């Protein structure tokens, strides 16, 4: 396994392995790379949808996202798609997947299927580095704080995603997604302290109004999206990215209008998170 850093705070690029065959100690080593670095992009893969699912199951369970089309024909695979004529993309703001679930997803395995000729990169940001950058005083304040997460405003008809490819999946039913998590969590494997809020799904701090929440939430979002905590995954045919949702945020760049982009995502089941 050849490993090269992608950014100072987050991300590694890996060559010299084939995910379709990876198991045992080599798979354990890859998992540690993801837990410690937040995201790993693995180049030159040949991974059919069946192999993608089989590989994901070697990490544990799969969380099927009910809001995404499964047009690939495999229910475990969410298709993250943007058509040539679509303006809005999926995942175009900083977020971490499924923070609105009681047990948020551990991570995701994203396989590039159709790429635009240029652009369409994905940015990642380190929530460990963002936490470390806060003052001692703010860390003390956050230590006692929980935040409420919801996806209703995103996936509801008329919601944020109603102009994306997910519009067809919107059922018209009232959504009710809600979870409360500590604002600072410990990574279940590495023990690192992580900032666990995000601009897409965190609505307010528990016991605070939205109005009271916004100034502090906006500040934390600004810290989390600082350039020095980021890395950029530039997709190539055969690239696969595996990220840890507890330790990172990500943002899909929307800079390839007029071109189609199709990615296959499998979301990996997590474990309960705690302060
Ligand atoms: C996502 O937000 O999960 C999608 C990321 C991407 O399409 O690059």
pLDDT values of the chain reduced to their tens digit, one per residue, 275 residues: 999 999 999 999 999 999 999 999 999 999 999 999 999 999 999 999 999 999 999 999 999 877 766 666 899 999 999 999 999 898 999 999 889 999 999 999 999 999 999 999 999 999 999 999 999 999 999 998 999 999 877 655 555 545 555 455 545 555 667 899 999 999 999 999 999 999 989 999 999 999 999 999 999 999 999 999 999 999 999 999 999 999 999 999 999 999 999 999 999 999 999 99
80 lines ligand 1 (CB under 6 A): yes
2-268 CATH choice from 3.40.50.150, 3.40.50.1820, 3.60.130.10, 3.30.70.1450:
3.60.130.10
Among 62, 152, 72, residue whose Cα is nearest residue 108: 62
Q: pLDDT digits over 59-94, tens only?
A: 999 998 777 666 668 999 999 999 999 998 989 999
Nearest residue (by CA) to ligand 1, atom 4, is: 91
pTM of the predicted protein model: 0.92
* List 95, 149, 187, 192, catalytic entry: 95
Give me the residue spans of the domains in the chain.
2-268
- Please report the pLDDT score of residue 170 as a whole number: 47
Check if 97 is active-site.
yes
- 274 burial via Cβ count (<10 Å: 0-12, 13-18, 19+): exposed
């Amino acid at each position: 396994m050849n490993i090269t850093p992608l950014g100072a705070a987050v991300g590694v690029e890996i060559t010299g392995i084939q995910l379709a065959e990876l198991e045992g100690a080599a798979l354990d080593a890859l998992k540690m790379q993801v837990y410690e670095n937040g995201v790993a992009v693995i180049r030159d893969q040949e991974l059919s949808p069946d192999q993608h699912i089989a590989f994901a199951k070697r990490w544990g369970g799969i969380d099927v996202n009910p809001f995404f089309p499964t047009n690939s024909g495999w229910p475990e695979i969410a298709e993250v798609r943007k058509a040539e004529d679509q303006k809005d993309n999926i995942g175009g703001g900083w977020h971490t997947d499924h923070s609105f679930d009681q047990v948020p997803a551990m991570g995701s395995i994203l396989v590039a299927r159709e790429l635009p000729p240029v652009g369409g990169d994905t940015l990642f940001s380190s929530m460990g580095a963002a936490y470390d950058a806060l003052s001692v005083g703010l860390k003390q304040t956050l230590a006692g704080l929980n935040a409420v997460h919801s996806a209703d405003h995103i996936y509801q008809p008329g919601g944020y995603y109603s102009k994306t490819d997910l519009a067809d999946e919107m059922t018209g039913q009232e959504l009710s997604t809600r979870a409360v998590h500590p604002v600072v969590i410990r990574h279940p494997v590495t023990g690192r302290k992580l900032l666990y809020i995000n601009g897409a799904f965190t609505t307010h701090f528990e016991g605070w109004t939205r109005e009271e929440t916004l100034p502090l939430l906006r500040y934390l979002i600004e810290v989390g999206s600082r350039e020095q905590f980021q890395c950029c995954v530039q997709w190539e045919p055969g690239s696969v990215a595996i990220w840890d949702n507890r330790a990172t945020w990500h943002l899909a760049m929307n800079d390839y209008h007029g071109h189609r982009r199709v990615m296959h995502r499998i979301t990996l089941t997590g474990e309960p998170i705690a302060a």
